[in-house]
């Protein structure tokens, strides 16, 4: 995405920490697609994989060295979840701006520590909550803000996958930051906080439903209470071969639903360059029913994850606010933590209460 600022401004030099699925599929191509950002170094133990993507990139096997290199302006951390806190802390102390892939950290205390450090140093810290720029979420937000649903009293948000056999990877082995809730939970939590703010109550259940799951959660369902007349259900699973609607919203004047995940991840996996013709465009409409049962189709706006990195660029140049301020990311971590405690204790919790 082009910059509103002068083209004579120097590029922001970026180090990407980690070149696994998330780093290779999301961050590297998105950074490359945004004018004013220059990806100059990747921290990876597999130089051949990096050079198969771009031959001229410097590859540093030492993640900590890459995160604190003196010639880097922005450090993007897409390494395993339990490395987020120490790498981000080191980068901030070295004077770098920092973007962290979700989840922010593996504990609320770690997230609080990073926010305090960034604020003390006046450094940019942000979390890659890219699903704010999903076409389906943008469509839902427009429907709610437009008022045609009336007062939205119920929202169901599902983020489902189908992988019935556990894989031998860190996300699905017991350990800090593992499990589906840490993988997909940040998406649904951040989106509902953007729509409605913090809830009053949290009631959650978590389970390991697949054979061989080693007790690592692969199913979570959460009911958030907003006063007496609004409930939000969040649902993530690895056992959904049949895809239920991604969103359902029910209000005093009608209902709205949208099926199918945003297509940008599939486009990235297929090798489409962000911003290419058709990028983020999804022909599947949302459906809205009015109080009389009449159903109309609503086109989805195109999603565009590049907006996040364009926002980071402009924030670093003093032209725009941080697209995901650290306090918003901290609120996501606080609600995720409350969900885990509710499921572990088997009771409804007041959000923010001990």
Evaluate whether 41 touches 23 at the Cβ level (below 8 Å): no
* Number of folded domains that form the chain: 2
Q: Does any domain span residue 291? A: yes
pTM of the predicted protein model: 0.95
Q: Same domain, yes or no, for 264 and 181? A: yes
Burial of 189 (C-beta count, 10 Å sphere; 0-12/13-18/19+): buried
Q: Same domain, yes or no, for 156 and 287? A: yes
Can you tell me the mean pLDDT for 179-194?
A: 97
Q: Does any domain span residue 3? A: no
Q: Same domain, yes or no, for 85 and 111? A: yes
Q: Same domain, yes or no, for 125 and 144? A: no
- HSE-CB of 92 using CA atoms within 13 angstroms: 23
Q: Same domain, yes or no, for 174 and 80? A: no
Q: Which residue has the higher pLDDT, 291 or 13?
A: 13
Looking up residue 60, the CATH number of its domain turns out to be 3.40.50.720
Q: Is the pLDDT of residue 4 over 50?
A: no
Q: What is the pLDDT of residues 207-229, one digit of tens each?
A: 999 999 888 999 999 999 999 99
Q: Same domain, yes or no, for 170 and 97? A: no
Percent of the chain with pLDDT over 70: 97
Q: What is the pLDDT of residue 188?
A: 98
Q: Same domain, yes or no, for 220 and 271? A: yes
Q: What is the pLDDT of residues 238-267, one digit of tens each?
A: 999 998 999 999 999 999 999 999 999 999
State how far the Cα of 137 lies from the Cα of 75, in Å rounded to an integer.
28
State how far the Cα of 147 lies from the Cα of 167, in Å rounded to an integer.
44
Q: Same domain, yes or no, for 150 and 281? A: yes
Name the token pair of 19: 């070149």
Q: Does any domain span residue 234? A: yes
Evaluate whether 175 touches 82 at the Cβ level (below 8 Å): yes
Q: Is the pLDDT of residue 348 over 90?
A: yes
Q: Does any domain span residue 89? A: yes
- Which alpha helices (DSSP H) does the chain contain, by range? 21-22, 28-33, 47-53, 63-67, 84-93, 108-121, 135-146, 180-196, 264-269, 306-316, 326-345
Q: Does any domain span residue 1? A: no
Q: Same domain, yes or no, for 220 and 298? A: yes
Can you tell me the mean pLDDT for 278-296?
A: 95
Q: Is the pLDDT of residue 5 over 60?
A: no
Lowest mean pLDDT, pick from 25-34, 51-60, 126-135, 172-181:
172-181
Range of the domain at 109: 12-129+308-322
């Amino acid at each position: 995405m082009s910059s509103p600022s002068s083209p004579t401004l120097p590029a922001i030099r970026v180090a990407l920490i980690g070149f696994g699925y998330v780093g290779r599929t999301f961050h590297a191509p998105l950074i490359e697609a945004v004018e004013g950002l220059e990806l100059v170094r990747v921290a990876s133990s597999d130089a051949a994989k990096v050079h198969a993507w771009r031959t001229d990139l410097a590859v540093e096997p030492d993640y900590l060295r890459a995160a604190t290199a003196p010639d880097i302006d922005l450090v993007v951390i897409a390494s395993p979840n339990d490395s987020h806190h120490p790498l981000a802390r080191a980068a901030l102390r070295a004077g770098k701006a920092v973007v962290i892939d979700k989840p922010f950290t593996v504990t609320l205390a770690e997230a609080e520590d990073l926010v305090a450090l960034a604020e003390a140093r006046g450094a940019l810290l942000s979390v890659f909550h890219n699903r704010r720029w999903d076409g389906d979420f943008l469509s839902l937000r427009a429907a709610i803000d437009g008022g045609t649903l009336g007062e939205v009293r119920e929202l169901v948000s599902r983020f489902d996958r189908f992988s019935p056999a556990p894989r031998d990877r860190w996300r699905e082995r017991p350990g800090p930051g593992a499990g589906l809730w840490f993988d997909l939970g940040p998406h649904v939590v951040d989106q509902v906080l953007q729509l409605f703010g913090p809830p009053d109550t949290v009631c959650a259940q978590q389970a390991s439903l697949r054979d061989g799951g080693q007790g690592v959660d692969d199913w979570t369902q959460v009911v958030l209470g907003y006063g007496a007349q609004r409930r939000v259900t969040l649902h993530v699973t690895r056992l959904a071969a049949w895809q239920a609607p991604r969103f359902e919203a029910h209000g005093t004047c009608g209902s709205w639903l949208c099926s199918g995940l945003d297509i940008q991840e599939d486009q990235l996996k297929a090798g489409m360059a962000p911003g290419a013709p058709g990028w983020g465009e999804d022909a599947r409409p949302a459906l809205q029913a009015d109080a009389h049962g009449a159903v109309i189709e609503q086109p989805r706006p195109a999603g565009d994850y590049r907006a996040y990195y364009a926002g980071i660029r402009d924030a670093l140049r003093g032209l725009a606010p941080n697209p995901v301020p650290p306090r918003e990311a901290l609120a996501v971590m606080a609600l995720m933590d409350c969900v885990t405690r509710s499921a572990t204790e088997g009771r409804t919790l007041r959000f923010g209460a001990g």
